[in-house]
């Protein structure tokens, strides 16, 4: 463990991949290895607490978070999202008709890999597929409204559901691995990687802020930073890449969808919670 964790992880996965040539349990082994790594670092934290991000290392911050979440300042945005979700399309159908159980608990399986499309399908993709299927215009990715507030509401319908992202075919595994490769890749002028902060330095303080662990990262988007600034998971990818002084790939790019697939898989078993306040 320790500093060689990522390399060990990658090397181990390659061996497994070569030996069996099939998904086997490679992603699950990655997830378990990370959970063990973080257990070492945060010995007292229950696994479910990883959904609180950096607050796992900041009990005072957690208290403040709970207080703010009693009357979230962004509740108005969630209401706007609900109105969009409930407004019938021109054909009379609604978003709820596109998802099992009207969307309740539906988020736990996103993103998933669609073998026919040969692509990772994010929840945002599914929203646009729903619009397309009903003869409506798709929403642009990466915008606060309608896509941001709509998904903030839709994800709240899956509060408490446990993440269960699946990697079941060799093609799916290839996209999972592409996401993992990007996660560990050094990039940009600052030569940083996602893993550099969110694995090896999780719990450490960068200037004044605690760095969050990747475990739990995918469970609670969008967040409302400072209670007001809606930020999606891919919006966070963008901000991170800018901070690394790298050229961001772009919303709904294959790179970010694969990365979202990988980090979401790592949160398997953890409860979803949307939307949440973050500093």
Name the residues annotated as catalytic. Answer: 240
Taking CB under 8 A as the binding criterion, the range among 59-67, 137-145, 183-191, 259-267 that sits at the site for other proteins is 183-191
Residues 51, 126, 197, 215: which binds other proteins (CB under 8 A)?
Answer: 197
Q: Which is nearer to other proteins, 163 or 195 (CB)?
A: 195
CB 209 within 8 A of CB 279: yes
Choice between 10 and 174, CB closer to other proteins? 10
- Minimum distance from CB of 245 to other proteins (Å)? 8
Cα 155 to Cα 79: distance, rounded to the nearest angstrom: 13
Residue 192 contacts other proteins per CB under 8 A: yes
Task: Give the nearest distance from C-beta 221 to other proteins in angstroms.
Answer: 25
Cβ proximity to other proteins: between 217 and 273 the closer is: 217
Residue 189 in the binding site for other proteins (CB under 8 A): yes
Choice between 213 and 271, CB closer to other proteins: 213
DSSP string, 15-27: HHHHHHSS-TTHH
Stated as kind and residue range, the H or E segment containing 5 is helix 5-20
Contacts of other proteins in 4-23 (CB under 8 A):
4
Total binding residues for other proteins by CB under 8 A?
15
Binding track, positions 200-239, relative to other proteins; x by CB under 8 A: xx--xxxxx-------------------------------
Q: What SS3 class is residue 121?
A: strand
How many Cβ atoms from other residues are within 10 Å of residue 39's Cβ?
13
Longest dimension (CA), the chain: 56
Distance in angstroms (rounded) separating the CA atoms of residues 117 and 120 = 8
Give me the DSSP letters along 164-230: -----SHHHHHHHHHHHHHHH--BTTTTB-HHHHHTTTTTSEETTEEPPPSTTTTSSPSEEETTTEE
Closer Cβ to other proteins, 17 or 196, answer by number: 196
Residue 103 neighbours by CB under 8 Å, 6+ apart: 85, 95, 96, 154, 157, 158
Identified binder of other proteins from the candidate list 8, 101, 169, 191, rule CB under 8 A: 191
* Residues making contact with other proteins (CB under 8 A): 3-4, 189-192, 196-197, 200-201, 204-208
């Amino acid at each position: 463990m320790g500093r060689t964790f990522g390399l060990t992880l990658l090397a181990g996965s390659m061996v497994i991949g070569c030996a069996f040539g099939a998904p086997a349990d490679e992603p699950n082994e990655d997830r378990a290895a990370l959970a063990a790594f973080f257990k070492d670092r945060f010995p007292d934290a229950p696994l479910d607490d990883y959904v609180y991000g950096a607050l796992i290392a900041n009990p005072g911050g957690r208290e403040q978070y709970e207080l703010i979440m009693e009357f979230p300042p962004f509740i108005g945005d969630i209401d706007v999202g609900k109105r969009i979700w409930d407004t019938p399309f021109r054909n009379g159908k609604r978003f709820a008709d596109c998802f099992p159980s009207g969307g309740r608990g539906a988020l736990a399986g996103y993103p998933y890999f669609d073998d026919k499309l040969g692509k990772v399908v994010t929840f945002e993709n599914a929203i646009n597929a729903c619009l397309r299927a009903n003869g409506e215009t798709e929403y642009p990715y990466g915008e606060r409204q309608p896509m941001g507030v709509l998904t903030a509401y839709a994800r709240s319908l899956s509060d408490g559901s446990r993440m269960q992202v699946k990697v079941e075919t060799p093609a799916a595994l290839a996209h999972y691995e592409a996401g993992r490769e990007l996660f560990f890749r050094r990039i940009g002028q600052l030569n940083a990687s996602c893993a550099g902060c969110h694995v090896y330095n999780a719990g450490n303080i960068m200037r004044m802020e605690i760095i969050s662990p990747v475990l739990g990262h995918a469970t609670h988007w969008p967040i409302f930073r400072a209670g007001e600034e809606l930020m999606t998971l891919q919006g966070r990818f963008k901000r991170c890449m800018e901070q690394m002084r790298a050229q961001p790939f772009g919303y709904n790019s294959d790179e970010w969808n694969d990365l979202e697939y990988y980090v979401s898989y790592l949160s398997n078993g953890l409860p979803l919670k949307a939307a949440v306040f973050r500093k």
